[in-house]
Amino acid sequence: MRKGQVAVETLKILWMNWRDIKNPDAGGAELFTHEVAKRLAAQGHQVTLFTSEFPGSKREEIMDGVEVIRSGGKYTVYLNAKKHYRKVFSREDYDLVIDEINTRPFLTPKFVKKGIVIGLIHQLAREYWFYETPFPISYIGYHYLEKSWLRPYVTVPMVTVSESTRADLKELGFMKVYVVAQGLSVTPLPSLPEKEEKPTLIFIGRLRKAKLPDHAIKAYESVSREIPETRLWMVGDGYLFESLKNQAPSGVKFFGKVTNEVKLDLLKRAHLMLMPGIREGWGLVVTEPNAMGTPVIAYDVPGLRDSVRDDVTGRLVSSGDISGISREALDLIVDQKQREILAINALGWSKNFSWNRTAREFMEYMTSVIQDLPADTDSSNHN
């Protein structure tokens, strides 16, 4: 394929990600990968996903038209990907190699010699190092590792899901960063649903330090002192589950990991969602409650400041300001009219997002990258 051609021919795509959608630890990044990859496959493109194994997984299978190859674990998948590429993939004529970066990249610019490398990153780790890794790894990761890992990608075309992450990458010297809209797996409600009789707050997310679930509980405590009938629903699992549950005050209910149907039902019935956290790529966990007619109160941090439109679809408060979350929650519980305005706006905002749109924008960028090659350059020789 050469410059000036309309890129509608079939592409051969190799996608590398540390997990796939069937992995028990899969999250928003894996959902993005699956939803985009299967749409590319449905358009006739040949997509191969190289990812890690997990207990009970198949080494190879076809999922929604995507060839999935699994090898290695959480930490060894990167080395296995390199070995497999040199042994097998290097002999195949891939047009594109998508390197999906979840803190640690596959470092494809160093060993992929055939096809165009495109990076995909949802968010930088940054503060995550201090919340989820012990010292001195946290210090080394924050100050050296992440920057070192990303350095080979500064000239590589990159895709991300928010302006916040684009700004982070630009700050590190990245030259080509394109933002695609995050998708949405649920159909927004046609109108605002009936809410619970009692004021009900909800938190959804993994119960781990970086998600700050304890901030949601502390904010709820302040709200319940003013409005005792208020309740808080904690939805999600994680290593903090038992400790949080044992220390939580009355009025807090822990649901653990639930089905998608249960999650959407809870979101539909809750009045407000509390979303503390240190950063997100975008915040799919914001768009989903919006689609159920539920506004979100969140910290003003990367990703969440993109998915929450302050005082339009929800409220933003300074990072770490637990009293700010409780203050906004109290205000919106009392002011039903204002809360419904935000809910209506949130519902309308959610209708802008779909995986079809995400896949279309992703494909448009891949096409533009291919067409930007010099006219006398074959894509198989570009890196």
pLDDT tens digits, 23-43: 999 989 999 999 999 999 999
pLDDT band at residue 9, thresholds of 50, 70 and 90? Answer: confident
Distance, in Å, from the CA atom of 252 to the CA atom of 241, rounded to the nearest integer, reads 13
CATH 3.40.50.2000 for domain 200-350: yes
Common-topology check for domains 12-183+354-381 and 200-350: yes
pLDDT band at residue 4, thresholds of 50, 70 and 90? Answer: very low
Q: Strand ranges (DSSP E) for 30-113?
A: 46-51, 60-63, 66-70, 96-101
Would the pLDDT of 73 be above 60? yes
Could you report the per-residue pLDDT of 245-274, keeping only the tens digit for each?
A: 999 999 999 999 999 999 999 999 999 999
More confident residue, 4 or 304: 304
Of the CA atoms within 13 Å of residue 209, those in its CB half-sphere come to: 8
More confident residue, 233 or 141: 233
Quick one: pLDDT at residue 373? Answer: 60
Domain boundary assignment for the chain: 12-183+354-381, 200-350
* Whole-number average pLDDT of the chain: 92
- Topology (CATH) of 12-183+354-381: Rossmann fold (3.40.50)
Mean local confidence (pLDDT), 99-109? 96
Would the pLDDT of 5 be above 70? no
Rounded to 10 deg, the angle between the 213-226 and 322-334 helix axes is 50
pLDDT band at residue 1, thresholds of 50, 70 and 90? Answer: very low
Mean local confidence (pLDDT), 73-92? 95
Mean local confidence (pLDDT), 123-137? 84
pLDDT band at residue 60, thresholds of 50, 70 and 90? Answer: very high
| Of the candidate ranges 132-136, 296-300, 337-341, the one whose mean pLDDT is the lowest | 132-136
Would the pLDDT of 357 be above 60? yes
Would the pLDDT of 133 be above 60? yes
Quick one: pLDDT at residue 336? Answer: 96
Would the pLDDT of 382 be above 90? no
Distance, in Å, from the CA atom of 226 to the CA atom of 16, rounded to the nearest integer, reads 50
Quick one: pLDDT at residue 122? Answer: 95
| Class of residue 144 by CB neighbours under 10 A (exposed 0-12, middle 13-18, buried 19+) | exposed
Distance, in Å, from the CA atom of 36 to the CA atom of 275, rounded to the nearest integer, reads 26
Would the pLDDT of 288 be above 90? yes
